Amino acid sequence: MDSTDTLFITGATGQLGAFVLAELLGRMSTEGFEGPILCARRASSSMDQVHMVEDFLELEREALAKAQNVKWLHCDLSDAHHTKNAIDEYCTKENLPQPSTIIHAAATINVSPSAAKGTSNEQLTDEMLLLAEMLGVQHFTHISSIAVMGGSVSLGEEEVIGPEHFHPNRSDAFLSNYALGKIASELRVWAAQAAGLSISIVRPGVILGMGPKANAPQELWARILDGKLPLTTDGSTGVVDVRDVASLVVKAHTHKVEGPLVAVAENVPFYELVDGMGAAIGARRKIKRLNANPWLERMRFLGFLSHVPVVGRFFTPQMRIMLFSRVKYDGASGGAIHPYRPLDQTLNDFGSFLQKAWK
């Protein structure tokens, strides 16, 4: 990819997208992108996340938001034709070449099994792929998730899965609406590749970062700090530093690495993760721990309650999987592109920053 071409990025006002923007500007681990960076933005979008990233990286205020080659474009990403018209008008007005590559980092991130089916991830990806087709872009980078991957062992057993474990035909009964949306989105991207589009796909684990307290990516930090996390379990998940994901995304995009690249630095039990986050952010409340033995079988026995209003969501198969899965994710494919920070460093860096920022 020529670093003087125009690049179009979605999600630049979100947690990951703001760090991707910092990476593109050469503020972290790679050389800066010299061409115009066209950042999609809703008229109602706050710039608070971008400004917090500037503070975290100890940059001057507006160093990212008003960098010389950063151009903010107000548009409706749910309509590719509207977005294309907005790009045409802006590029003509500013005498800029049209985007030749796209980084699609915008997403709905509610992973709760009870999240509504109205997730926009699939629709949004469809529209961005249509935009890529209309623009005739040379490359498209898609941020997927480890939620699209699945193993074959029984719940509670350990298994290591890698990039090849993409199983879109798994039963809907065992998948959250978030996972279903992400699977459908990635299928769309693979279909576009089959039709001739050059792609990169990155599948991050649980992204640990920082941002405004009210924003969805910081819900776990906020609940731990405020003493509102009722319990944790001995299930586990794969985690990764947002800075490492951003660096990996930019490198994969620049070098057109197809992937899929799994971005997981460490696999950690939930109770260890929560304890580490609590210590890093200065929370003192001890959180109750539920072990798979005996609680997994108890929740299975009470599965008939899944159809009861209000409380039913706590007894679904998806909830049991979320709480007690011990699947481990092989992040070597991502680590080959960019090295990961240790989990302790990630937690300490972000926890200490948020202690001050959220006062």
Taking 90 as the threshold, does the pLDDT of residue 24 lie above it? yes
pLDDT, residue 175, reads 75
Task: Encode pLDDT of 214-257 as tens digits.
Answer: 999 999 999 999 999 989 999 999 999 999 999 999 999 999 99
Taking 60 as the threshold, does the pLDDT of residue 60 lie above it? yes
pLDDT, residue 173, reads 57
Taking 70 as the threshold, does the pLDDT of residue 142 lie above it? yes
pLDDT, residue 111, reads 47
At residue 1 the predicted structure's pLDDT band, cuts being 50, 70 and 90, is low
End-to-end CA distance of the chain: 42
pTM of the model: 0.93
Burial class (CB in 10 A: 0-12, 13-18, 19+), 171: exposed
pLDDT, residue 342, reads 98
Mean pLDDT, rounded, of the chain: 91
- Tell me the domains of the chain and their CATH numbers: 7-211+238-267+328-341 (3.40.50.720)
Taking 90 as the threshold, does the pLDDT of residue 176 lie above it? no
